[in-house]
Structure formats: structure tokens, C-alpha cells
Amino acid sequence: MATMRSLLFPLLCSLFILVAQRATAQTICFNEKGNFTLNSTYHDNLNHVLSNLLNSQNHNGDGFYNFSYGSASNQVFAIGACQGDVTIEVCRSCLNETMHIVREACPNQKEVIQWADKCMLRYSNRSLFGLMETSPNKILYKTANVPSDSVVAYFDVLMNLTNNLKSRAAAGGSLRKFAAASVQSPILFKTIYGLVMCTPDLSQNDCINCLENAIGTFPGSEFRTFGGIILVPSCKFRYEDYIFYNPTAEEAPPPSPLPKPQTASPPPPLMIEPGTKNNTSSARTIVIIVVSSTAFVGLIISLVIIMSFVQVNHRSKEPAVEETTTVESLQYSFETMKLATDNFSEKNKLGEGGFGIVYKGRLSNGQNIAVKKLSRRTAQGDLEFKNEVMLVAKLQHRNLVRLLGFSLEGSEKLLVYEFAQNGSLDPFIFDPKKRTNLYWNRRYKIIGGVARGLLYLHEDSRLRIIHRDLKASNILLDGDMHPKIADFGTARLFVVDQTQDNTKRIVGTYGYMAPEYIQHGQFSIKSDIFSFGVLLLEIISG
């Protein structure tokens, strides 16, 4: 367990750089504004609004969407606004993902607001267009403080930058009210980057009032930090000590006391969650959390997954197959498998790998199965094959594909597995159409499930197993999109206290293999952790 934690923690801290953009996602479900009944007229109208919000006729041409549908108490109003430095493709992608998130987070609330890093989505049973609102709000800030002897000078530079940005953003027309710029603090020789935006349906005065009100709610002590965000329904303010927006968004930046440094800004410091603050208004819950740091994202998600590991490790083991299970109880006749797969017809073929072809099958009792027809070139003997089937069948975990049995007739060797309705993970990562179903909450759950399954193989099962071919195509998804690690054809069974081995035969997939495995044939649980890291990158960035 200690080995797993020591390997996984630094790995995830570095890998989750790619999800920093998602760090500011915040959702508020207004329970006090009323709820709707599922499958009601209001629910149907909401689905219609969200499905049609991104149509071109509801778009102002520069990242702002406005649409309503229905009548009287069942009318639904929605607006979507994107940050002024993103392309229309990024804008639409952000709003699409946001719609998935709010439907999960707020399944029956009539009024919802969701802030993401690059966009904001609101819907309600009241009109929202042209309405300036500054409550509820969310405040997020770093924990790295400006040195006490530099706070006043740093604050003055920041306020000058903020005032400049407010004026520029408010002066924008009905298409975009957005500004971004940077300035260097003469005391700390540190560049401050700032961004403000209002929804473009606001007037110039309303935009200024919104930003002033929002910035005024930021606790004065928090301006001692090197970064912060203020999110309100109608506007947004953010500043950092690293560039977090598209540099081309900077137009006519304010005069800088000193030339800007030519070197790249250092990455943001580590951030923690300091807690929650309550305001006297029940609708104005100010959640103080920390964002905008790639290290923070890595830390938090690492801790969550590691905690999952700890919980799994201390829970009772998953129920295993009874010791009285016999080889005969797991064996299917070859004729049964032929019948189940329609004589291994091409139309039932699910996939093909280096160790055989997988077919979809259906037993006489209606149960769907996956049948792996192993390559005939395998040199494994019948007794060895049966013994390995018995061992793998005893591995029972919700994040492993369950081996139901086998068939053995002459040179034909078949493995019978539970069927995963949604197939393998790789199409959801690499197929542009399927990728839209893999929104962030779902990706996160898949990552956690694979991690738990891998921990079970390495630490909690009665056998220690190194998978050796962990990749997207070997992660299957059931009907609820829960991940299950599959294909133990290349796995090496270990005795409990064995941690490393050496092989002359390299099996697996290049790109997922650890360097020491490719070069020297050495494999251990570290080899699987390396593959897990590559898989994480694919899940996050795909």
C-alpha cells in the first residue's frame, strides 16, 4: 500500500496539469427557487432549451447565447456566456460539458447556475436577459501570500490594473464585454495578470456596477494572495501571477512601471481548501475554495483516489468464488459457445488482439456474454490453462471483468466473460462523437474505478497480479459506464511476496510500457503504474 501511494501521488500531481482549466467549475442549485417533477412539462421544456440553446439563431456571434421556451409557469429561460478569449469551438464545447454537469448536479431544480473556467450557464423559470445580478457569488483564492512588507504596493498595482480592465470591459458593445491585461509589480518584480468580463446583455453602467460590487465582496485579507477569482451571475473577475488566458486577448495594456520579464512565469503555488464562509443572505453562500493551480488539481484528485485506495484496503475483501468451485463447474461445452455466438459469426465480433478474437454471445437463459477465442499458436497445455482459469475466476472485484468460465476442445481454447454493454473505453476517448458523452465527472469516476481495480490486483487479491497491458482498449464500460479492467491474457501471476520479475518475452503495447520493461524485460507493479499514468493522460486529454 505504501508503495502504491508513493508512486501514485507524484505521478498524479504531474499528470493533472491538463485539467487545470476545469478547476474553477462551480455549481449552485437553487432549492429555494422551486423544483420541478421529472418528465413534467417543465422538464420537457428544459430539455428543449438545453438542446437548442447552442443553435446559431440563439447566438450573438461572439460567445453569448440566449433562448427561452414554453409559456406561463412552464417557461424556461437560459443564457450561456463564454470568456472573450476563446474560440467559438471551445465555447460550444465548454457549454456542452456544462450542460451535462448541471443535469447531474441539479436534477430537478428550476433555477441553476454553473461556472466553468471558460464559460457560464444559467437557466430559470424567470427571465434572465439584461438582468444584473451579483448574488449568489463564489470566491476562490490561493493560499500563497504576498510578503507583508509588499502588500500595500502589490495591492495598489492590482487595483490600478482592475480599474483599467473594468473600464475597458464595460465599454464593450452588445457582443462582448471582456478585457484582459498584465502589469508588473515594481516591488516584487512579479507580473500580475488580470481578466474581467460581464454578460454582454448588460448596459455599460450595469457592467461597471456588477464588477465593483463583485470585487467589493472579496475579503480584503485575501488580496494579500497571489491569485483569486470572484464569480457572480452577471460578471467575473480573476487575477493570477501566471498567464491563464490567451495572450492575444491583451489589448492596450496599462502602462507598466517596469519592463515585463522575458522569461515564462513560474507555475502557480500549491493550493488547499481553506473552508467555507457564510453570508447573512441564505441565497448568497460564498464558498471559499482554491483553484487555478495545476498542482492543486493534482493534489486534490490524488488525495481522493488515494483515500479510495485506503478505503478499499480496509474494507472486507470482495466476496470470492467459493473454495469448493471446481473446474467442471466453470466449463462450457464448445457447442454451447458456438450456438451462443452464432458459430463465431463476423457480425458478433467485438474486437481482436494479439491473443485472440472476442465475440459477443447470448446464452440460452438470455444472459449476454463475451467469448474470447484464444489464438491456436499458444503453447499452453490443457492442465496449465485450467489452473490459470481457476485462479483468475477467483478474482472478484467490481472494477474487474468477471471471468465466468471456459471451454476447451482439442486445440480450441475459449474464455467466457461477463458482457460490458458500452464496450471498451478507447472509442469514447478517440472518437469525436462518442467523446461528447465522456464529460468530466464521468472521466473522474472512470479514473477512480481503474485505480481501485489496479490496487486490488496489486495489493488486495489473494494473488499478486501484474497486468502488463493496461490501456484504454482493455478498460471496458458496463451499462452505467463503470470501468472494468479486462484481458488478463498477458498478466503474470505472482506469489504474494513477489514484487519484481524478469522476462525475455516482452508483451503489451508500446507507448504504455515502462522503459525498464522495454529495455530489460523487468516488470513490477511500477510497470502497471506507468501504464496507468499514460492511460490517465488519454482520459484527461482525449
Catalytic machinery residues: 469
- The long-range contacts involving 301-304, CB below 8 angstroms and separated by at least 24 positions, are 301/12, 301/16, 301/19, 301/444, 301/447, 302/8, 302/9, 302/12, 302/13, 302/16, 304/448
- Half-sphere exposure (CA, 13 Å, Cβ side) for 484? 26
Which DSSP string corresponds to 377-434? T----HHHHHHHHHHHHT---TTBPPEEEEEEETTEEEEEEE--TT-BSHHHHH-HHH
- Edge-to-edge strands, sheet with 403-409: 349-353, 356-362, 368-374, 412-418, 403-409
Instruction: Report the distance separating Cα 407 and Cα 333, nearest Å.
Output: 6
Asked whether 51 and 99 are in contact (CB, 8 A), the reply is no
Q: How many CB atoms lie within 10 A of CB 502?
A: 10
Asked whether 510 and 488 are in contact (CB, 8 A), the reply is no
| b/e burial code for range 200-216 (CB count within 10 A of at least 16 → b) | bbbeeebbbbbbebbbe
Rounded to whole angstroms, what are the CA distances from 150 to 159, 161, 187, 225, 387?
A: 14, 17, 7, 11, 70
Beta bridge partners of 502: 522
Residue 541, classified by CB atoms within 10 Å of its CB into exposed (0-12), middle (13-18) or buried (19+), is exposed
Instruction: Report the distance separating Cα 190 and Cα 357, nearest Å.
Output: 59
Beta bridge partners of 278: 285
Q: What stretch of H or E contains 336?
A: helix 334-340
